[in-house]
Homo-oligomer: A and B are copies of this chain.
C-alpha cells in the first residue's frame, strides 16, 4: 500500500502543529475524483485521434487523490492561512479592507460568469454596459476623461500608462528618455519605467516627507517624459505642493502619472484630475474591495485626460445612439494590454462595491480610513518613532530605530510578535527611505475597538523583551521561517527535492 499520511487533521492547528502533507504524499496510484458528463460521443482510442509523434504514452503524472482527501487537504491548508476574514490586516500600502460578501454574490451571478469573452456584442450587452458604466464611475472618482479596464493589476496599469506617455510624446515633439520618481516610490514604479523604455530619475523627499520641489526642478528638462507620483505618498502624506509640481512638469512638456494605490485616502475629497494628473491607475483590489486572493487577481484600470483618450488600449465598449453597445478601438490606440477585456469578474465586484457605496459612501470610506490612521498614529506617539509625525492620510509610517538602538528591537521582530498577538503584521522596511519602517494602514473597515486592541498590542510589544521577540512567532502554524535557506538551497517543486 503506498505510504500516504492519511486523513488526520494533521495540519489544522486546531489539533496540533504537524505539517500538512503535500497532495503528492497523499496520492495513491489509481485514484481520482473526476466525473464527467455522459455525452454519447463515439469513444475513439487516443491512437485514432492523435498522430504518434505527438501522442504521449504515459499521461502526465498528477496527484491521484479521492475527493474526500482533496477537500480535507485544501480545507486544512485554509486553517494554516491568515486572512482579512479572520482579523485585522494593517498591511501598509495594501488597503486590506473587508471585502463585502455582497460582492461575492454579484461576481458569481451565472449571467456574468458563464459568458464567453469572444461572444459578439449582441449577446453580451449586460457585460458591456457594466464595463462602460464602471469606466464612467472611475472617471468621476478620479476626475479624468476616459479609461481602460484592461490592465489586470496596478503594475500592468503603470506600464500601460507609460506606454500612453510614449505614444503621446511620439506625436508631440518626439520621444523623451527620462521618467522621474520619488525615492519613496513603490518598486513597481521603477520596474515599469524600465519596461516602458525609460530611464528612472529619482527625486529625493524633503524633511517633510514630501517631494523636494527644488530638487525636482533641477531634474526637469525637455528629456523628461513625465513623473510618477503616489498621492498621498507611501509615507501616507499628501503631496501638498502637487499643484506646483504639476505646473513645473507640464512646463517642460512632461506628463503626470498618478499611482492610485493610495486612492482610498481621497475618495470624494479630491481628485487626481483636479491635481493636474494626466494618467491615473487604480488598484481595484485595494480601494474598491476586490479581495486580494493571496496575491491576486486584482484589476488596475487606467484613466486619462481628454488629450490622451485617443491612445487608450482597445477595444472599449461604447454606447451608440441606438442604445446598443459596440466595441470600438480608440483612434491612435496603443493596442491591447490583456488577452480579453481585463479581469472582468474583479471589475464586476468593484462595480457592485461602487453601487452599494455611492458617492456619499465612498467619501465616508476615505474619512474613516484617514480617521483610523491618525487615531492610531497618535496612539503610538512616544512608543514608536514617528519620523514624519504630521497629519497623515489613510496610513502612516512608524519606526523602531530608537528601540533598535535602545534594545535591539527590529521592525521585523515587531512584525513577528504582532502575529502572536493575533494581528497580521504591518508592511515592514518600506518605504526604503525610513529606517526600520513599520507602514501601518488600518483601513476604514476596522472598528475603534479593533484599533484600540491593535494599539495595545503594539505598545506591549515595544515594552517587551527584544531577545524574546527574535524568536517570535511561536503560536503560528510554523515558527520563524528560514528564508535564507530557501534561496540558498532552492526547492521550487516537490520533484526537485532529493
Q: Which A residues fall within an 8 A CB radius of B?
A: 1-10, 12-18, 26, 28, 31, 66-69, 71-72, 75-76, 79-82, 85-88, 98, 100-101, 419-423, 445-454, 457, 473, 475-477
Q: Is the CB of A13 within 8 A of B13?
A: yes
- Complexed CA–CA distance, A9 and B457 (Å): 13
Q: Are B68 and A26 in contact (CB under 8 A)?
A: no
Chain B residue, CB-CB nearest to A3: B449
Residue of B nearest to A27 (CB): B449
Residues of B within 8 A of A17 (CB): 475
Q: A12-B82, A15-B82, A67-B98 are in contact. List 10 more A-B contacts (CB 8 A).
A: A1-B452, A6-B451, A8-B87, A8-B423, A9-B82, A15-B420, A16-B420, A76-B86, A76-B87, A79-B79
Q: List B contacts of A423 (CB < 8 A).
A: 7-9
Closest 9 A-B residue pairs measured CB to CB? A6-B453, A9-B87, A8-B422, A7-B450, A4-B449, A16-B475, A6-B450, A68-B98, A7-B88
CB distance from A167 to the nearest CB of B (A): 42
Nearest B residue to A66, CB-CB = B447
Alpha-carbon distance between A76 and B82 when the two chains are bound, in angstroms: 10
Cβ of A374 to closest chain B Cβ, rounded Å: 16
B6 and A454 contacting across the interface, CB-CB below 8 Å: yes
A450: chain B residues at CB < 8 Å are: 6-8, 69
Chain B residues with Cβ below 8 Å from A422 are: 8-10, 12, 15-16, 18
In angstroms, Cα B68 to Cα A421, docked, is 19
Copies in the complex: 2
Question: Is A66's CB under 8 angstroms from B445's CB?
Answer: yes
Q: Within 8 Å CB of A101, what residues of B?
A: 67, 71
Which residue on B lies nearest to A98, using beta carbons? B68
Complex contacts, A86 vs chain B, CB 8 Å: 9, 12, 14, 72, 75-76, 79
Please name the residue on chain B nearest to A65 by beta carbon: B447
Q: What residues of B have a CB within 8 angstroms of the CB of A98 in the complex?
A: 67-68, 71
CA distance A316 to B3 in the complex (A): 51
The answer to whether B82 and A447 touch across the interface, beta carbons within 8 angstroms, is: no
A-B contact pairs, 10 of them (CB 8 A): A2-B449, A4-B447, A6-B450, A7-B454, A9-B86, A15-B82, A68-B447, A71-B98, A72-B85, A72-B87
Complex contact A476–B7 (CB within 8 A): no
Q: Are B82 and A28 touching (Cβ within 8 A)?
A: no
CB neighbours (8 Å) of A100 from chain B are 67
Q: How far is the CA of A423 from the CA of B88 in the complex (A)?
A: 31
In the docked arrangement, what's the CA distance between A4 and B452, Å? 9
Q: Is the CB of B5 within 8 A of A453?
A: yes
In the bound assembly, the distance between CA atoms of A1 and B87 in angstroms comes to 20
Chain B nearest CB from A219 CB (Å) reads 43
Question: How far, in angstroms, from A87 to B13 measured CA to CA in the complex?
Answer: 12
* A446 to B5 Cα, complex, angstroms: 12
Closest residue on chain B to residue A477 by CB atoms: B14
Task: Give the chain B neighbours of A14 by CB distance below 8 A.
Answer: 13, 79-82, 86, 476-477
Chain B: CB-nearest residue to A8: B422
**Residue of A6, A72, A101, A476 ringed by the most chain B CB atoms within 10 A:** A6
Q: Separation in Å of the A39 CB from the closest CB of chain B?
A: 18
Smallest CB–CB gap between A255 and chain B, Å? 39
Q: Provide the bound-state CA to CA distance between A67 and B85, in Å.
A: 11
- A421→B8 contact, CB < 8 A: yes
Q: Is the CB of B1 within 8 A of A448?
A: yes
Q: In chain B, what residue has the closest Cβ to A443?
A: B68
Chain B residues closer than 8 Å to A475, beta-carbon distance: 15-17
A449 vs B10: C-alpha distance when bound (angstroms): 13
Nearest Cβ in chain B — how far from A11, in angstroms? 8
Q: CA–CA, A8 to B66, complex, Å? A: 36
Q: A7's closest neighbor in chain B, by CB? A: B450
Contact among B7, B15, B421, B454 for A453, CB-based, below 8 A: B7
Residues of B within 8 A of A447 (CB): 4, 6-7, 28, 31, 66, 68-69
- Report the Cα distance A476→B79, complex, angstroms: 13
Docked Cα-Cα span, A9 to B82, in Å, equals 8
Name the residue on B nearest A9 (C-beta).
B87
Q: In whole angstroms, how far apart are the Cα atoms of A81 and B450 in the complex? A: 24
Residues of B within 8 A of A6 (CB): 88, 446-447, 449-454
A422's closest neighbor in chain B, by CB? B8
Point out the residues of chain B lying under 8 angstroms from A31, CB to CB: 447
